[in-house]
């Protein structure tokens, strides 16, 4: 019982911290590192196998307080992930960070998610919940030449997204707008619809789209099942960030601005080995290889977490047909009521 209480108290503490750091967001990168650390800590806590038993026991109790806590955490963590996207966009746009490694890492995840979607240059793709750093749209447009449209309800996310697209995908057929699905002039021709994991009421929006789209449209949903699978985005961000931090620390130490002797650090070891790099190359090879292997390992980890934590990123055919049939019945009932 004490273990369950401690587990629930930890969740409550994370909830409070998410509240605090989301409230501190001031449209700059001032609190980026604090939020990054919190997301990293939370990701480790959620994916810790030692917490699985406590989670399952609390889930079986069906306590109204615990259910509400989970619902709150889902909203707050999603908000913080969205803010983290804004931080990343701001860093990129202001020249504070090179997003190449992060972009490559997410590219592989996106390819695994939508590799079988058969998107071509003739396709028209709609992303609901495009966010501040619309990498899915960028990759699809870049690889296929398809027309892609992203919608979001956040004005700042749309503006940052437009700026990111201008920087990373200039000339691509990408359009971002703050629009509701019922106001789009694009839906009749849409061939593929993708729902972001942070979008609430996915099936309500799907019901709206049912009567507005053609019968051959392909729908993909990034979704979570309460806490354990809600934070795949968090896990990818945090594990990818660890690799970037290792590179940054090593770089500063190599320049003599980081960790100082007698403490051992790979960047400092590389710097010291420069003088004998031709006579004793193994002195540079060891720390250099260690940096490459560790950073690559964290990037592979973030890729694996994306796949492992999301149960099934594309809705099954039977499930989608069931949802569409339900929405169709609802629509017919409304039509009958209006006659």
The predicted-structure confidence for 208-221, as pLDDT tens digits, reads as follows: 777 788 777 887 77
Radius of gyration of the chain measured on its C-alpha atoms: 23
Same domain, 26 and 175: no
Same domain as 117, residue 17: no
Beta-sheet strand order (sheet of 174-177): 174-177, 147-151, 124-128, 192-195, 218-221
Q: Is the domain of 330 the same as that of 199?
A: yes
Specify whether 83 is located in the same domain as 131: no
Integer Cα distance of 229 and 311 in angstroms: 7
Which CATH number do you get for residue 136?
Answer: 3.40.50.150
Domain finish residue from 69, 97, 125: 97
CA 59 to chain centre: 25
Closest listed residue to residue 113, CA positions, set 244, 219, 207: 219
Pair 122, 175 in one domain? yes
Residues 93 and 211 in one domain: no
Q: Are residues 299 and 154 in the same domain?
A: no
Please enumerate in sequence order all residues whose Cβ is within 8 A of that of 338, keeping only pairs 6 or more positions apart, or say none: none
The residues facing 148 across adjacent strands are 125, 174
Domain end, chosen from 97, 124, 153, is at 97
- Give Cα separations from 245 to 97, 126, 239 (angstroms): 11, 34, 10
Q: Take residue 312 and report the two structure tokens written for it.
A: 């099934």
Same domain (yes/no): 197, 322:
yes
Helix-, strand-, coil-residue percentages of the chain, each rounded to 5: 65, 5, 30
| Three-state DSSP class for residue 194 | strand
**C-alpha to C-alpha distance for 125 and 10, rounded to whole angstroms:** 40
Domain final residue pick, 51, 67, 97: 97
Q: Are residues 210 and 239 in the same domain?
A: no
The domain tally of the chain equals: 3
- Are 139 and 237 part of one and the same domain? no
Q: pLDDT tens track of the chain, all 339 residues?
A: 577 778 888 999 999 999 999 999 999 999 998 998 998 888 888 888 888 888 778 777 777 788 888 888 888 988 998 899 899 899 888 887 555 555 555 666 666 665 556 788 889 999 988 889 888 888 889 888 999 999 998 999 999 999 999 998 889 999 998 888 777 877 888 888 888 877 777 777 877 777 788 777 887 776 544 444 444 455 555 556 677 778 778 887 777 777 777 777 888 888 888 888 788 888 888 888 888 888 888 877 776 665 555 544 444 445 555 655 665 566 566 556 655
Which structural domain, as residue segments, surrounds residue 334? 101-224+314-338
Based on the fold, state whether residues 199 and 319 are members of the same structural domain.
yes
Domain match, 58 and 156 both? no
Contact residues for 290 (Cβ-Cβ < 8 A; gap 6+): 266
């Amino acid at each position: 019982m004490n273990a369950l209480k401690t587990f629930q108290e930890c969740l409550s503490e994370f909830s409070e911290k998410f509240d605090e750091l989301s409230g501190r967001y001031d449209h700059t990168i001032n609190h980026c590192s604090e939020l990054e650390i919190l997301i990293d800590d939370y990701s480790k806590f959620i994916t810790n196998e030692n917490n699985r038993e406590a989670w399952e026991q609390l889930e079986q109790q069906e306590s109204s307080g615990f259910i509400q806590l989970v619902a709150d955490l889902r909203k707050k963590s999603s908000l913080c992930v969205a803010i983290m996207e804004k931080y990343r966009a701001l860093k990129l746009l202001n020249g504070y960070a090179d997003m190449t490694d992060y972009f490559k890492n997410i590219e592989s995840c996106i390819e695994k998610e939508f590799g079988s979607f058969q998107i071509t240059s003739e396709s028209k793709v709609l992303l609901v919940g495009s966010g501040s750093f619309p990498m899915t749209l960028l990759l699809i447009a870049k690889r296929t030449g398809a027309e892609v449209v992203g919608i979001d309800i956040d004005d700042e996310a749309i503006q940052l997204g437009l700026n990111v697209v201008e920087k990373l995908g200039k000339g691509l057929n990408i359009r971002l707008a703050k629009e509701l699905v019922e106001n789009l002039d694009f839906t009749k021709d849409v061939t593929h619809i993708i729902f972001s994991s942070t979008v609430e009421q996915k099936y309500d929006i799907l019901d709206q789209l049912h009567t507005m789209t053609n019968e051959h449209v392909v729908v993909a949903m990034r979704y979570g099942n309460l806490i354990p699978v809600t934070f795949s985005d968090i896990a990818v961000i945090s594990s990818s960030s660890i690799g970037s931090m290792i590179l940054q620390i090593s770089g500063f130490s190599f320049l003599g601005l980081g960790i100082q002797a007698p403490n051992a650090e790979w960047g400092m070891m590389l710097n010291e080995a420069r003088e004998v790099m031709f006579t004793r190359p193994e002195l540079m090879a060891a720390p250099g290889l260690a940096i490459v292997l560790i950073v690559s390992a964290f990037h592979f980890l973030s890729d694996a977490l994306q796949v492992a934590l999301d149960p099934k990123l594309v809705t099954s055919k039977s499930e989608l047909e069931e949802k569409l049939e339900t929405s169709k019945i609802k629509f017919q009932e409304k039509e009958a009521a209006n006659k």
